[in-house]
Structure 1
Amino acid sequence: MTPVTDVVVTGLGATTPLGGDVASTWRAALAGESGARHFDNDWAETYELPLTFAAQIKVAPSEVLPRQEIKRMDPSAQYAIIATREAWDDAGSPEVDPERLGAVVSSGIGGIWTTLDGWDTLQEKGARRVLPMTVPMLMPNSPAAYVELELGARAGAHALVSACASGAEAIGYAVEMIRSGRADVVVAGGTEAAIHPLPVAAFAASRTVSLRNDDPAGASRPYDVNRDGFVLGEGAGIVVLESAEHAAARGARVYARIAGVGLSSDGYHITSPEPSGRGQIAAMSRALADAQVTSADVVHVNAHATSTVVGDLIEARGVRDVLGADADQVALSATKSMTGHLLGGAGALETIFTVLALAERTAPPTINVTDPDPELVLDLVRDKPRDLRSGQVAAINNSFGFGGHNVALVVTSA
């Protein structure tokens, strides 16, 4: 097999329901904290919402960004910029030819706050009061564009949209940009800011979210027999990716490698996963083959696991199918139990968790699993972190989205 260019992770950035940066988010995750809480507004009463909570961002952008930046960006772009600045600083602000620097930042829903605020303004105040920046703020490529402008990237700026797989697919596309020789460094990830009355009402109507209004922190329960839906979250995760050669030449610290990318589609249903898991199995198998690692190398899986009745077990059976008997040595984590579901930002944040799990040899816990589903065929890390073995090892991060989009990333130790 022809060798491919190694792609390494040299910078991490995030803003999430658990913290305003990677360090605080990771600490909270290892401590088993939940980011879910009741809305601090009157939405439920005003709009008669059946849902009164979500996993809202922990640190408001107004605490980080100047007012002028906030005015010209949708919250989805604000989150992306906050995470990008942290990731770029974490990578040591690398010097790179702008023609060799790229940006791939995705969002599953895009600038919904801007869209709906603009519609309200039009209805209530007329066309003259609609902001001239409305279209640049609402377009789904806005976060990618602002990241590109922030860094002066000229190798390409992209915004792949694949629902809840968007953030992971962005990272996969960034890997291919480097492998193909188009870029030496790519800033990649996902962002979402969809905690707004309309998406909340829509998700509640679709019966995909938990309605445990009496217990927000305990609502996301992946693999528990009493799981009843996901918790809506928001935030962003960004990574700095480099060719191994470029990173070595500048003496960069390397967290891990993104060694394998696997993509597939179900061809089955707009919202429901294909029952046999064939698309998910294909994505994981392709990612392992791309990484040139075996099932015996895999010690950890960060599962998509949203806490839905059907989806959790389809994925678990798929992991077992792909890894076979070697699945017995795998520590399975479902971190959405703490962060909620960041939609287009989920795969990116969970890639960061997977990278840190290998870098620190620590699998984060899954919380709220008081009565594990007897059909779970994997070893779930519950309530407290678990040590991972030393040596050269690999981990899988799964991300699946409405429409049957499947993305698996294989991360290997540095």
Structure 2
Amino acid sequence: MEKRRVVVTGIGAVTPLGKDVDTTWNNIINGVSGVKPLTRVNADEYPAKVAAEIRDFNPEDFMEKKEARKMDRFTQFAVAASIMAVKDSKLEITDKNAERVGVWVGSGIGGMETFEQQYETFLKRGYRRVSPFFVPMLIPDMAAGQVSITLGAKGFNSCTVTACATGTNSIGDAFKVIQRGEADVMVSGGAEAPITRMSVAGFCANTALSTNTDPQTASRPFDKNRDGFVMGEGAGIIVLEELEHALARGAKIYAEIIGYAATGDAYHITAPAPAGEGGSRAMKAALHDGGLTPDEVDYINAHGTSTDYNDKYETMAIKEVFGEHAYKLAVSSTKSMTGHLLGAAGGIEAIFSVLAIDEGIIPPTINYETPDPECDLDYVPNKARKQDIDIVMSNSLGFGGHNATIVFKKYQD
């Protein structure tokens, strides 16, 4: 059976750099950091002092107050970003097409804020005072559920939970749903709101977070002096659409998605496999899925978390996959500006990937000051680069040994 072609026709985001795509992207290409002093929890209680928070988000800009009160913050982000993505795509979901429009939105952690608040209520006041919406607010799949309800999308509906690979897995899996003919449109990506007391405590306890107190330099992927990631929050959602369906309604096409693969390290619960071998297999398989040779890739939006092993091993994996071409392609980590949005990272990075193609500009890796001899590729240091781009690869790697790679291509008839 011939594979159906799938294109990106809508994008929506809520990020530490802006409550919409335009603001976020403008800040990305101008090298603006979204990292600020940690305020959502008491920073005095933790070694990590900075985070990439979303300030002044008002869910009532997107939904009724009574509905917002039934959603954890991560779900509110997902609904807001999905509404913006569908509006951007100019797609009308009606009774006639609703069953062919699906949703695949994941979250790595889900409703941690709700869990912590309701557990406190339970301890102080007993089970009768726990909200009847506690479970629906907590579970990670409720982002997909609420997006489906809000949009009226009645097709394929699912949620991926693969830690920091969640957003990329979600988009890749949604791509395959359309490719094999089970939907014409999929609204897909990731959402996360992890800046809570227990989440910050957990990541501090396993020494994953940066303890750099300077917000402007704490997130510094591939730099020799990197010391951990900076936690972020938000959502990135894209509208994937079967090509003929998109052309028939005159939709704007940002890019075509042509390749996807996912692998497992089978190695360690938090550390990547030596030399990033699981990530290299994902990249190779995604290239094969897209019918590409390594030398056709122009830019990689790296996972690039600003942790020691991740950045080193991802660099090694890229060199394993691309050989000499690894030194010719551009590699950058937008986490240097957004922080690490965990399960939402792949969603917003997919948006940055398609905009890089659509606008011909490669986002920089900011805070790159001291080269690391073990990280010796072209990381587009500190300043965006104008360049015609045909093919972009986006990587996401997660706790549990999850590796996911998607590949986008400039759309051509």
TM-score range relative to shorter protein: over 0.9
The answer as to whether partners of 2:93 and 2:152 remain within 8 angstroms in 1 is no
Aligned alpha-carbon RMSD (Å): 1.3
1:95 and 1:270 mapped to 2: Cα distance?
41
Matched, 1:13 2:6: no
Of the three residues 50, 53, 56, the one matched with 2:47 is: 50
* Aligned partner of residue 275 in structure 2, secondary structure: coil
* Unpaired segments ≥5 residues, structure 2: none
Alignment of 1:216-227 (within 5 A): 216-227=215-226
The answer as to whether partners of 2:40 and 2:195 remain within 8 angstroms in 1 is no
Deviation of 1:68 (Å): 1.6
Deviation of 1:118 (Å): 0.8
* Aligned partner of residue 240 in structure 1, secondary structure: strand
* Unpaired segments ≥5 residues, structure 1: none
Alignment match, 1:64: 61
The answer as to whether partners of 2:34 and 2:338 remain within 8 angstroms in 1 is yes
> 1:74 is matched by which residue type in structure 2?
D
Q: Tell me the alpha carbon deviations over residues 105-161 of structure 1, each in whole angstroms, 9 at most, x when there is no partner.
A: 000000111111110111112222111111111111010000111122222210011
2:180 and 2:5 mapped to 1: Cα distance?
11
Alignment match, 1:78: 76
1:370 and 1:50 mapped to 2: Cα distance?
24
The answer as to whether partners of 1:317 and 1:377 remain within 8 angstroms in 2 is no
TM-score normalised by length of structure 2: 0.96
Alignment match, 2:288: 289
Alignment match, 2:159: 159
Deviation of 1:59 (Å): 4.0
- Seen in structure 2, the aligned counterparts of structure 1 residues 41 and 194 have a Cα distance that, compared at 3 Å, is closer
1:160 and 1:73 mapped to 2: Cα distance?
18
* Aligned partner of residue 308 in structure 2, secondary structure: coil
Identity among equivalent pairs (%)? 46
Deviation of 1:50 (Å): 1.9
Alignment match, 2:116: 116
Deviation of 1:52 (Å): 2.2
> 2:202 is matched by which residue type in structure 1?
A
Alignment match, 1:196: 196
Give the count of matched residue pairs.
Answer: 408
- Seen in structure 2, the aligned counterparts of structure 1 residues 341 and 42 have a Cα distance that, compared at 3 Å, is closer
1:217 and 1:146 mapped to 2: Cα distance?
35
Matched, 1:360 2:359: yes
Matched, 1:40 2:76: no
- Seen in structure 2, the aligned counterparts of structure 1 residues 249 and 95 have a Cα distance that, compared at 3 Å, is farther
Alignment of 1:111-190 (within 5 A): 111-190=111-190
Of the three residues 394, 399, 406, the one matched with 2:396 is: 399
> 2:261 is matched by which residue type in structure 1?
G
Structure 1 stretch 31-40 or stretch 233-242: which is displaced more? 31-40
The answer as to whether partners of 2:7 and 2:241 remain within 8 angstroms in 1 is yes
TM-score normalised by length of structure 1: 0.96
Alignment match, 2:257: 258
Deviation of 1:374 (Å): 1.8
The answer as to whether partners of 2:41 and 2:197 remain within 8 angstroms in 1 is no
Alignment of 1:67-106 (within 5 A): 67-95=65-93, 97-106=97-106
Of the three residues 392, 404, 408, the one matched with 2:405 is: 408
Deviation of 1:94 (Å): 3.3
Structure 1 stretch 215-224 or stretch 368-377: which is displaced more? 368-377
The answer as to whether partners of 1:15 and 1:59 remain within 8 angstroms in 2 is no
